[in-house]
Amino acid sequence: MRASILLASALGASVFAAPASPTFNPDAASPGGLDSVAEYFNMLATKVQESRNMAAAPVCDLSKAQQPIAAPTPLPPPTAGLVLKHVAIGRGTQNYTCDVKNATAIPVANGALATLYNASCIASTYPDLLNTLPKVALQFNLTDAPKMAPSNLVVSGIHYFTTATTPFFNLDTAASKLGQAQCAKNASVSAPANAPKGQAGEAAVPWLKLMTKSGATGDLQEVYRLETAGGSAPATCAGMPAAFEVQYSAQYWFYESLPKKA
């Protein structure tokens, strides 16, 4: 019991609560989907065992969190002077449109819609566990549950697009006011070759660095989309409807500027 209490504290009291009606998708074609879920729970069990030897619960300190690095080409680093404010797991859909009269047409990106789940304490304490979560989250169907299966992370915001090319992040929830921001893409690199496939075998969408636009609140300055899983459209519109969604998951890292001293 002591180990469970310690780890629950380290992960923001979220991991050991009973999952809110998770719906595992056994028909997902993503390679190793079931194995990834098993790997997650095995890793979690190891953390519990390790915590038995701790004198105190790990501290949720975002200054200790280290961004994953895209290989072989990394994204530009956060601007000097910015500090990490929040880490979230995004789970939702990448959206596309197609010219149904032209089977050889390339699908056009039409934004995304995702729920953001608070993973800040996991990022600062157990980065290996964090990096499994996008792949694991993708093995569960989207529901209206207020927590993310199977880790049961609580909602910290929502991500959507205000135009086809303008991503928006709202981190102002009933529990906390972390800010809101429209963003513009600053840099993009392909996801690593071994990035997790989607539920139907789709490739992972690229990793991104975004810059906030004028009007952002909460001192938000930069946002990174990392460790993506799934989300890519097919190569052509053959057999596709005029509009469709592709399920995806990713890590989102939010950076803020420090308030100016008076």
Residue 70 lies in a domain: no
pLDDT less than 50: residues of the chain: 1-24, 26-29, 31
Q: What is the number of domains present in the chain?
A: 1
pLDDT for 10 equals 34
Tell me, yes or no, whether 205 lies in a domain. yes
User: Coil, strand or helix: which one is 39?
Assistant: helix
Report pLDDT for 42.
Answer: 63
In a domain, 213, yes or no: yes
Residue 52 lies in a domain: yes
In a domain, 69, yes or no: no
**pTM for the full model?**
0.83
pLDDT at 44: 61
Residue 250's domain comprises 2-63+78-257
- Is 71 within a domain? no
- Would you state the pLDDT for residue 19? 32
State residue 4's pLDDT score: 34
Cβ contact 199:230 at 8 Å = yes
The verdict on residue 150 lying in a domain is yes
* Residue 138 domain flag: yes
φ/ψ of 168, rounded to 5, equals -130, 140
Question: Amino acid identity, residue 192?
Answer: P
Whole-number pLDDT of residue 5? 28
Provide long-range contacts, Cβ within 8 A and 24+ apart, for 172-180: 172/217, 172/218, 177/218, 178/85, 178/86, 178/218, 178/220, 178/254, 179/85, 179/216, 179/217, 179/218, 179/219, 179/220, 179/254, 179/256, 180/216, 180/217, 180/218, 180/220
Per the document, the length of the chain is: 262
> Which pLDDT score, from 0 to 100, does residue 173 have?
87
